[in-house]
A and B are shown apart, each in its own frame.
Chain A
Amino acid sequence: MTETLLRIANLTKRFGSLAASDGLSLDVLDGELHAVIGPNGAGKTTLISQLFGEIVPDDGAIWFAGRNINALSTAERVRIGLARSFQITQLLLDYTALDNVALAVQAHRGHSFRFWANARRDRPVRERALETLARIGLERRADTAVSEMSHGEQKQLELAIALATRPRLLLLDEPMAGLGPAECATTVELLRGLKSETTILLVEHDMEVVFALADRISVLVNGRCVITGTAEDVRNDETVRTAYLGEGDL
């Protein structure tokens, strides 16, 4: 049987009277692509931010690879194998696409207290960064400043940066949102390829994508996980139909 890579137990986070996470429990198995869906305001992004250490939960525990990571900072979590992409891109706009990825590669290799050698001539780092850019089809844009890239390209760059740290668990927050059809297709193919390499927790609105890619799906409603199962389980579940799927198309 596959092991649990990420265990979320009774996670609770309140913003005033609103419970973004309300006793949320969820397991992500090693190697699976686990999708999280739910209506707007179900607490999906808040969940990712808590897993990534950017929002401190009020209660509950997060276990990663058998270790409680509640007390770890974001940077420390990244160093033990977490990575995330942001729904609203967080990029270094003055730098080129390649610089953005190379910095992630550089960070993954250890400390950056190197004060003399030209970082942009560091062959191994640059080559590895270029390979990563090529995976998402952005190698032509390597030397373009991020501020001059389109929104879609920036979203894809988010993904490349996350990959550059070689994560064990990739937290993807709506990687398709705002992408054109062609970019969408590239990203879906990329995710399909990534499935065999790393564990993925995917928050996504595009149901077609979720049902096509996910091994398991969890449905979040009002900060709680109401069901976890295969696409088939979720489709047929009565609670899900009323709480969520009923309002949209399926």
Chain B
Amino acid sequence: MFKADTAAVAKSAPRRAMLRVAGLVALALFALLLPRVATALGNPALISLATRMVIYAIAAASLNLILGYGGMVSFGHAAYFGVGGYAVGILYYHFSAGEPFLGFIPGTNQFLVALAAAILTSALFALVLGALSLRTAGLQFIMITLAFAQMVFFLFVSLKYYGGDDGLIVRRRDVLFNLNMADDTTYYFVCLAVAVVYHVVFWRLVGSQFGLVLGGIRQNERRLAAIGISTYRYKLVAFVIAGAGAGLAGALMANFAKFVSPDMLNWSRSGELMIMVILGGGATLLGPAVGAVLLIGLETVLTGWTEHWQFYLGPILILIALFTRDGILSLFKDGSGGRD
């Protein structure tokens, strides 16, 4: 992404910009018309499928901030996704039970309040876990983020009050203005709107001074120290922003599925998010979204054919990884170029 702004590719820049705009318009049209197409095809399940893709696009993008841009291989990102989901589930539980959470926080079924709570809670988890894990680097960092995520996983498994292993049912989706949230098409558009806003914010973020520092941290941390930047603080803030994004996605997912369970925090879910980022292209704005659509799409198609779908998914992923050095999006770039 960064490189596209430079004169190294200046010759083709206008054409590339046109292509990009055309691509975005096509994407927007497709996303907007999808429910109609689904109805026309008599296949309303497509709307649910698309909603999941949109939600995972947000989760994968949030991981991309630290994995793709910052070069921090966090293997525990599902934890924040799950915490966001549980924030919605627990608040709804206390809303319907009529008794406050921890004795003083009233429950809610208000969508915006629940979303804000999910973002704050997951950010707080990321702050604590990030502050500890970021003292390490490399393999150690991968292992410690995984270990912390597993701790959070078992925390929710052991919370019998909120269903433990069985999870927690959200009987109705949270209320947003007077929208009919129970309608899957409406809820799809709500998620789509959130995703668009999220990606706009993300786009500003990675182009900002903070984003420039973050990309520098990935490339050479020693250089950043040598120009007077204490990288730890920047990494931690990025980690918190990433966690908050995953929490937002988790909150959307809890409302979509009307159900939260420890499965949301499982380590394999963290792996899926990483695959989405790498598949679509790290350190690109829309790469993770492409990865999310692709992975969930493949999963859906393959499960329709065979119950041994994972057996076929593996080789497909390997082929994609082999033939696209920097993810699917890199296929649409010029021949040369680095990760950006």
A100 to chain B, nearest CB (A): 8
**Closest Cβ neighbor of A113 among chain B residues:** B210
Kindly state whether residue A161 has any CB partner on chain B within 8 Å: yes
Contact B209 A122 (CB under 8 A): yes
Contact A112 B207 (CB under 8 A): no
Bound: A78/B223 CA distance, A: 11
Contact A165 B211 (CB under 8 A): no
Which residue of the partner chain, among A113, A116, A120, contacts B5 with CB atoms under 8 Å? A120
Bound: A196/B331 CA distance, A: 51
Contact B225 A95 (CB under 8 A): no
Kindly state whether residue A136 has any CB partner on chain B within 8 Å: no
Which residue of the partner chain, among A52, A54, A84, A148, contacts B8 with CB atoms under 8 Å? A148
**Given A94-B2, A112-B213, is A78 in contact with B227 using a C-beta cutoff of 8 Å?**
yes
- Annotate A164-178 by CB proximity to B: 1 below 8 A, 0 otherwise: 110000000000000
Kindly state whether residue B272 has any CB partner on chain A within 8 Å: no
Bound: A95/B227 CA distance, A: 15
- Annotate A36-76 by CB proximity to B: 1 below 8 A, 0 otherwise: 00000000000000001010000000000000000001111
- Annotate B1-33 by CB proximity to A: 1 below 8 A, 0 otherwise: 011011110100000000000000000000000
For A145, what are the chain B residues with a Cβ–Cβ distance below 8 Å? 3, 6, 8, 338
Bound: A99/B6 CA distance, A: 10
Kindly state whether residue B157 has any CB partner on chain A within 8 Å: no
Contact A112 B212 (CB under 8 A): yes
Kindly state whether residue B172 has any CB partner on chain A within 8 Å: no
Contact B8 A90 (CB under 8 A): no
Contact B227 A90 (CB under 8 A): no
Which residue of the partner chain, among A52, A102, A106, A114, contacts B226 with CB atoms under 8 Å? A52
- Annotate B140-169 by CB proximity to A: 1 below 8 A, 0 otherwise: 000000000000000000000000000000
Which residue of the partner chain, among B212, B222, B338, contacts A99 with CB atoms under 8 Å? B212
A154 to chain B, nearest CB (A): 12
Which residue of the partner chain, among A107, A113, A117, contacts B228 with CB atoms under 8 Å? A107
Bound: A75/B229 CA distance, A: 5
- Annotate B297-340 by CB proximity to A: 1 below 8 A, 0 otherwise: 00000000000000000000000000000000000000000111
Contact B226 A112 (CB under 8 A): no
Bound: A96/B4 CA distance, A: 11
For A115, what are the chain B residues with a Cβ–Cβ distance below 8 Å? 204-205, 208-211
Kindly state whether residue B43 has any CB partner on chain A within 8 Å: no
**Closest Cβ neighbor of B241 among chain A residues:** A115
Contact B212 A75 (CB under 8 A): no
B53 to chain A, nearest CB (A): 27
Contact B205 A92 (CB under 8 A): no
Bound: A78/B222 CA distance, A: 12
- Annotate A94-126 by CB proximity to B: 1 below 8 A, 0 otherwise: 111001001110111000111111111010000
Bound: A54/B222 CA distance, A: 9
**Given A79-B228, A94-B215, is A117 in contact with B208 using a C-beta cutoff of 8 Å?**
yes
Bound: A91/B219 CA distance, A: 8
| Given A74-B225, A96-B6; 15 other pairs, CB 8 A cutoff | A83-B226, A90-B223, A102-B212, A103-B216, A106-B212, A112-B210, A115-B208, A115-B209, A115-B210, A115-B211, A116-B208, A118-B207, A119-B209, A120-B5, A144-B6
A-B contact pairs, 11 of them (CB 8 A): A75-B230, A78-B227, A78-B228, A91-B220, A95-B219, A103-B227, A106-B209, A120-B212, A144-B8, A145-B338, A165-B228
B residues near A (Cβ < 8 Å) are 2-3, 5-8, 10, 204-205, 207-213, 215-216, 219-220, 222-231, 234, 237, 338-340
The 10 closest A-B pairs by CB, nearest first: A78-B228, A143-B7, A104-B227, A74-B225, A114-B209, A92-B219, A112-B209, A119-B209, A75-B230, A94-B338
